[in-house]
Amino acid sequence: MASKPTVIISAFADEAANRRTALEQMTALAAIGIRNYSPRFIDVPGDGKIEHVTELNAEKLERLRQFHAEYGVRVTSIGARVGKVKLLNVEDGSHNKFVPFEEYLAGEVARTINVAKALDTKLIRGFSFYHPRGTKPEQHLDQAADQIRRITNLCAENGLVYGLEIEPNLVGETGPLMAELAKRVDHPNMVLIFDGGNVTAQNKNAIQVFEEYRATLPWLGWMHVKDYRIDRSLVWEGAVDEERLKNFVPCDEGDSGHEMIFRDLREQIPAIEQRLQKLGIPGFYLETEPHLKGGGQFGGFSGPDGMGVAVRSLCSALDYTGIGYRLRTFADIRELRGF
């Protein structure tokens, strides 16, 4: 009997930590049984100062590496903010900031690359830039693709892979737009990250979500798992007010149609893994980012209980659709403690 295709379960552990401390995040991961995470907002020493992982100094990065060794945790990707700035210096009524691109490369992008290397991951999560409100994303594909290509080139020069996440309000807000960006960038070190909840939040139904997932497949690198229950009172008029999104739910309770996506993904995983192995990536990550107690532009929160609910829901959906995964076992505990 053929073995099941298998994924690696990962998480944004800051969602599981009430105070965002490194100790809380590592403890939550270990208790749930997850060995992989993407660092984002974190308080490494536990002194109440929460920083984005790309802002950590060398001392804090080393302390975080010690936490990883102690708790048997590996970094999936850097949960970066790269690409979440304006494409053009245009006043459009949003609070998004604009940074001249050369300055952006030397600052935010370079810091993110350095942190990825320090934390021993090959993956950086990023975005496709905010186009001016009131304009169509299709009008800005050339400039967005050019800037993403330059970011990808820097990542590739450092042995890294840039993952572009689908998200409302950005140039890459739909599956076909993400596919078009991937075609224009045309670089093996750029992959796409699908997130069904980010599509459903645009008031799109499960069939539409599935079609957008399929559009990303030739370049799919990993997937974020959150779900959303459509709120008809939030009308899609060209921009989603991310601070008003309140209907995030576990992946088997929303309108994103994860069962349909996972059934198709099961058949795609072997081919995806072959492509990822050429980039030095160990497998296909399904990363929980559930937002069960709230979500916004730069992150979300679920609490340790919410993260546990989200992971159990994901495992149930994977069991039902015939996809394998691995959580921590007693053998892992013995290995970690040197028994």
Residue 339 lies in a domain: no
Residue 2 lies in a domain: no
Residue 242 lies in a domain: yes
The first and second tokens of residue 126, run together, are: 């990023």
- Residue 68 near residue 29, CB atoms below 8 Å: no
Residue 1 lies in a domain: no
- Distance linking the first and last C-alpha atoms of the chain: 34
Residue 47 CB partners (closer than 8 Å, separation 6+): none
Q: What per-residue confidence (pLDDT) applies to 333?
A: 86
pLDDT in tens, the chain (339 residues): 568 999 999 999 999 999 999 999 999 999 999 999 999 999 999 999 999 999 999 999 999 999 999 999 999 999 999 999 999 999 999 999 999 999 999 999 999 999 999 999 999 999 999 999 999 999 999 999 999 999 999 999 999 999 999 999 999 999 999 999 999 999 999 999 999 999 999 999 999 999 999 999 999 999 999 999 998 877 777 778 777 778 999 999 999 999 999 999 999 999 999 999 999 999 999 999 999 998 776 788 999 999 999 999 999 999 999 999 999 999 988 887 775
Structural domain of 93: 8-334
| Cα(297)–Cα(91) distance, integer angstroms | 19
Q: Which residue is associated with the tokens 């069939």?
A: 207
Work out how many domains the chain is built from and give that number. Answer: 1
Q: Residue 328 — φ and ψ, nearest 5°?
A: -60, 145
Residue 215 lies in a domain: yes
Q: What per-residue confidence (pLDDT) applies to 119?
A: 98
Please give the radius of gyration of the chain, using alpha carbons only, rounded to the nearest integer: 19
Q: What per-residue confidence (pLDDT) applies to 242?
A: 73
**What is the CATH number for 239?**
3.20.20.150
Other CB atoms within 10 A of residue 190 CB: 24
Residue 157 lies in a domain: yes
Q: What per-residue confidence (pLDDT) applies to 294?
A: 84
Q: Residue 78 — φ and ψ, nearest 5°?
A: -85, 120
Residue 85 lies in a domain: yes
Question: Helices (DSSP H) in the chain: which residue ranges?
Answer: 22-32, 58-71, 101-104, 110-118, 141-157, 175-185, 196-200, 206-216, 258-277, 303-321, 330-336
